[in-house]
Amino acid sequence: MPFLRRREAPSFEFHRPTPGTRLIHFEHLRKAFGTKRVYDDLELEVRAGETLVVLGGSGTGKSVLLKCLIGLQRPDDGRIVFQGHDLTRFSEEEFIPVRRHVAMVFQGAALFDSLCVGENVAYPLREHFPEMTPDEVRARVAEKLALVNLPGTEQLMPADLSGGMKKRVGLARAIATNPEVILWDEPTTGLDPVTTQSINAMINSMKTKLGSTSIVVTHDLVSAFSVGDRMAMLAERRIVQVGTREEFRHSQVPEVRAFLDARRVELEPGAAS
């Protein structure tokens, strides 16, 4: 009875959680695209205030996991419980308030090319807070651009920006609504080492300055070890290990070991010699 299922889903209200307590729980998630099975029985818990890094090879379903959390993809079975709400039962309309609290920084920044930087950052404010006055919007945009070290760039167009600047504008847009949870899809892919470091610093500062919870999906082990409080490894259509950085560094789980060993040079430059 799909009609009843929709009506049963309560509207979403976010309550400030106690740091360290369970905020999001992916329970027995299953997902396939046609014959391609992405998750068979995926379990993962995200704790309030942490940065959880999700590692995994190409095509293992890291991005799909983030998309399921904000309703851009739908799991076939299982639940995604966020502060007691089962998001898998939410309609598209019921996801709108969820996206005010859970924002995604997309892999390619995904800026609107025809809008200037200021309008890009203001976009989610107009969507979620239509009651904000133009002065309030201007002030919030300026605050977020300053936070990502791009003060005064409101009038620039995306075409005028470097890749790293675009990522930072994408971040300013994602945090414009003061979300409690930030989803980072490959935040450092394709960036030079200096910009990579500044993005890593930014992920850490979102936690310390805003108290946000982050889920970071990445291939980049240096970045993973510099931002992750905990790490989770996606392989074989499930999470094969979750643990602290140290637990991962010394992991004996075969899929984790193989993933880390293949990237040992990246993680420990001395290992090459």
Give the binding site for ligand ATP (CB under 6 A).
33, 36, 38, 56, 58-64, 219
Residue with tokens 């729980």: 25
- Which residue from 126, 136, 98, 140 is spatially nearest to 12, judged by alpha carbons? 98
Provide, rounded to whole angstroms, the least separation between the CB of residue 219 and ligand ATP.
Answer: 6
Provide, rounded to whole angstroms, the least separation between the CB of residue 154 and ligand ATP.
Answer: 31
Order of strands across the sheet that contains 230-235 = 102-105, 181-185, 213-218, 51-56, 230-235, 238-244
Using an 8 Å Cβ cutoff, are 169 and 111 in contact?
yes
- CB nearer ligand ATP, residue 60 or residue 177: 60
Cβ within 8 Å of residue 65, ≥6 positions away: 26, 39, 42, 44, 54, 217, 234
Using an 8 Å Cβ cutoff, are 242 and 230 in contact?
yes
Provide, rounded to whole angstroms, the least separation between the CB of residue 201 and ligand ATP.
Answer: 23
- CB nearer ligand ATP, residue 58 or residue 133: 58
Using an 8 Å Cβ cutoff, are 87 and 81 in contact?
yes
- CB nearer ligand ATP, residue 190 or residue 211: 190
Provide, rounded to whole angstroms, the least separation between the CB of residue 19 and ligand ATP.
Answer: 28
Provide, rounded to whole angstroms, the least separation between the CB of residue 41 and ligand ATP.
Answer: 16
Provide, rounded to whole angstroms, the least separation between the CB of residue 21 and ligand ATP.
Answer: 27
- CB nearer ligand ATP, residue 137 or residue 235: 235
SS3 (DSSP) at 256:
helix
Q: What are phi and psi of 216, to 5 degrees?
A: -115, 120
CA–CA distance, 16 with 171 (Å, rounded to integer): 22
Provide, rounded to whole angstroms, the least separation between the CB of residue 196 and ligand ATP.
Answer: 17
- CB nearer ligand ATP, residue 11 or residue 58: 58
- Which residue from 102, 118, 113, 228 is spatially nearest to 174, judged by alpha carbons? 102
- CB nearer ligand ATP, residue 63 or residue 120: 63
Count of CB atoms situated within 10 Å of the CB of 273: 5
- CB nearer ligand ATP, residue 20 or residue 59: 59
